[in-house]
Amino acid sequence: MQYAIGIDIGGTKTAIGLVDANGLVLARTTLPTDSASPSHMVDEIAAATNKLLADAAIPAAKLQGIGLGAPGPLNTKRGIIAEPPNLRDWWGFPVVDAFRRHYDLPIAFENDATAAALAERWIGAAKHADHFVYVTISTGIGAGIFSHGRLITGSTGNAGDIGHIVIDPAAGLCPCGQRGCFEYIASGTAIARMASALVGRPVTAKEAFELALSGGNAAVEELVRRAFRYIGIGCVTLINTFDPEMIVIGGGVSQVGAPLFDAVIGYVEQNALNPSGRKTAILPAALSQDAGLIGAAALVHIAY
């Protein structure tokens, strides 16, 4: 049996896992993605990785390589974290070269949503699909695109950065400089921000959903209904652009379940351009919070 290390670098935490050739996570650990320098953070990740391997008694000869996933924008061809809004301290950081200081192994590097799409194709909700889009809706919004049996990554690895397609220009100024970006109006962060303003105190996205679905606050209920419609608009845009068999939705916001999926399916059935597009399957991700971790390892285990 061969093994890979999957490393999913996020804005608040970094997940590290030992994953076998069947996609099984044998051991995992997490570290806070703190304010230390990126170089020091890589040293900490390497130390945690080495402990994981030692505890599992996996010899170095059994390790095929290391897969890295991180939020974009990136430059995967050069191994650089470019300018992700949630990792400002890492801007311009040569992350692949930093890991090469620790490991003489193949190192694969892709956008975290792209890696998660590969995981869902490998052992998740899309394992029988040759054309699908994985959408993650959490702190931000991103996508991994799988078409004609392969990942579509773009010239620098940033294909699928759908969080900054404009959905509603009247909905306010996104930090990226555009108005009404998908991420600014429909991510978990956006829902929490807007609900907090309505309620007059800090509210998480989960609390906003609870308020809306219990009927406890009409204004928050309307906010959540609007966010679900925005997600439907995003899905129709993807369907009209890529003609997928399915859209797989993951990330924290997807955990609200049926209210989200029913709303999105209803919107797609009414508004996708092609009659076949209106029947596109809209499915929850199968791998939940492990998709990024398994996807990072999949970059090593399987051809993509």
Predicted confidence (pLDDT) per residue in 206-258, tens digit: 999 999 999 889 999 999 999 999 999 999 999 999 999 999 999 999 999 99
Write down the pTM of the prediction.
0.93
Whether 297 contacts 105, CB under 8 Å = no
- Looking at residue 36, its amino acid is A
Give DSSP secondary structure letters for 29-56: EEEE--SS-HHHHHHHHHHHHHHHHHHH
User: What was the pLDDT predicted at 109?
Assistant: 97
Query: How high does pLDDT run on average in the chain?
Result: 95
Position 177 confidence tier, pLDDT thresholds 50, 70, 90: very high
Task: Please check whether the two domains, 3-111 and 125-285, share a CATH topology.
Answer: yes
Q: Tokens standing for 253?
A: 């916001």
Is pLDDT above 80 for 152? yes
Omega within 30 of 0 (cis) for the link into 73? yes
Q: Tokens standing for 10?
A: 């996020």
pLDDT tens track for 95-133: 999 999 999 999 999 999 999 999 999 999 999 999 999
Residue position matching structure tokens 């399915």: 246
Whether 253 contacts 188, CB under 8 Å = yes
CATH topology for the 125-285 domain: Nucleotidyltransferase; domain 5 (3.30.420)
**CA dist 147 to 44, 77, 99, 264, Å?**
36, 20, 30, 22
Q: Tokens standing for 190?
A: 């956006």
In the chain, alpha helices (H): 38-56, 95-100, 112-123, 182-186, 188-199, 205-214, 218-242, 258-271, 291-301
Residues 181, 228, 124, 11: is their CA dihedral positive or negative? Answer: positive
Domain assignments of the chain as residue spans, ordered by start = 3-111, 125-285
**Which option is the CATH number for 3-111: 3.40.50.300, 3.40.50.1220, 3.30.420.40, 3.90.1300.10?**
3.30.420.40
Position 33 confidence tier, pLDDT thresholds 50, 70, 90: confident
CB atoms within 10 A of CB 261: 17
User: What was the pLDDT predicted at 8?
Assistant: 96
